[in-house]
Amino acid sequence: MGANRMLLFAAYTEIGLNIAALTYYCGPVIVIILSQVMFREKMTSAKLCG
């Protein structure tokens, strides 16, 4: 958790607050999309609702 926050604040200084915050909070969506591509997981209605 501490490393996560340190990297988030480092991203704020490198790429700016808007883009860093957007990518930080879109992380779960990015993981779902990449899991379909990399691990060939099926998209279920439960995953879409989540």
pLDDT of residue 4: 86
Per the listing, tokens 């691990």 go with 39
**pLDDT at residue number 44:** 83
Cα distance between residue 46 and residue 39, in whole Å: 18
Q: What are 2's two structure tokens?
A: 């501490």
pLDDT for 48 equals 76
Q: Name the stretches of the chain with pLDDT < 70.
A: none
Q: How many domains does the chain have?
A: 1
- The predicted pLDDT at position 15 comes to 94
Cβ–Cβ under 8 Å, residues 4 and 20: no
Full residue range of the structural domain in which residue 38 is found: 2-49
